[in-house]
Amino acid sequence: MDRNRTMKMVSSTVDFDRPGKQVGFFSLPLSVHDDAWGAVRVPLTVISNGSGPTVILEGGNHGDEYEGPIALGELIRELDPGRLSGRLIFIPAINLPAVVAARRTSPIDEINMNRSFPGDPFGTTTQQLAAYVNDVLFPIGDAFIDLHSGGSSLDIIPSAVIEPVSDPVKHARNLAAVTAFDAPIIVVIDNRGDPRTATASAAQAGLTVVGTEMAGAGAVSIEALSLCRRGVRNVLAHLQVLPPEMASPPTSEPRHYALSASAHVLAEDDGVFEALHRLGTEVHAGELAGRIHFLANPGRTPVELHYHADGILYSRRQPGRVRPGNCCLVVASPYSGSVA
């Protein structure tokens, strides 16, 4: 996409080149029935001091994922620019319409922002937001921290996430930054090969990339939020934007997993899903994973679902009600080796 075309559609109250702390907005045009010349005003903060890398910190790509936006908001309020060596660009509620609605997708266009990169500066609101991140922010960034959780539909073991890249040098760089986050587990996730995610686009642009999954279940996890607070500071210290004393000492050696093509257990019927195992349980391919019950037809035998991979139960559906194709369970398999 053309960065200049994207910029023409956007107005901003911050100057990316000015030192200090600027808390403001960028605005995209929105013309709807009750507001002919309105705008979507997205929170944007730049904190800059001296020389050093530029790190883009994103939360709220999905509007029902809360730990990231909370942790970034706290850092915006607390951070003294004098502690920095470089520049931090915060977009803590990037998909603002979805954040306000507490939904995974935007209520304006029903699009999942994290399946819309690199975006379209002349597309729908969500596509324009993705284009702004891709066309305006990524070209001036050195690293990208993208904070996710399971949202309303999934509960996920709090973890740091590696975006797969084929270049071994870039993979090593990403792995070092993800390890610095100091999550108990690290998971390689390629989103079933979908290149339209924010982290995939950032990796394509050459940035160092760190992703997360911070619990979910439609709530704020005490443990995951604590991890997220520490982890972001740890990565920024690793990147030498923050001083080393702002990082926390490593807690343990992380375990490494990956999501294989067989990781997901999908619903096959309409009904109510009963999971049989807690998160973190070791499971095996072929083992009974859960059942779908038919409450309006008690005479019908429940349908059994089975795991398709060996590993640990990494994620579990939160709502009990399911329909065919819903993701019920995700297994993370032990991982060692290079990412291709």
d(CA 330, CA 154): 10
Identify the pLDDT of residue 142: 98
CATH level 2 (architecture), domain 3-258: 3-Layer(aba) Sandwich (3.40)
Answer yes or no: are the C-beta atoms of 198 and 137 closer than 8 Å. Answer: no
Q: Tell me the H-state helices in 67-137.
A: 67-78, 96-101, 125-132
- 211: β partners: 146, 161
65 Cα distance to chain centroid: 8
Phi, psi dihedrals of residue 336, rounded to the nearest 5°: -155, 135
- For residue 336, pLDDT over 80 is answered with no
- For residue 66, pLDDT over 80 is answered with yes
- For residue 296, pLDDT over 70 is answered with yes
DSSP state of 118: T
- How much is the pTM? 0.95
pLDDT in tens, 91-110: 999 999 999 999 999 999 99
Domain extents in the chain: 3-258, 264-334
Determine how many CB atoms are found less than 10 A away from the CB of residue 292: 22
Tokens of 232: 């972001």
Mean pLDDT for the chain overall: 95
DSSP state of 133: I
Tell me which of 3.40.50.800, 2.40.50.100, 2.30.30.30, 1.10.357.10 is the CATH number of domain 264-334: 2.40.50.100
- For residue 1, pLDDT over 60 is answered with no
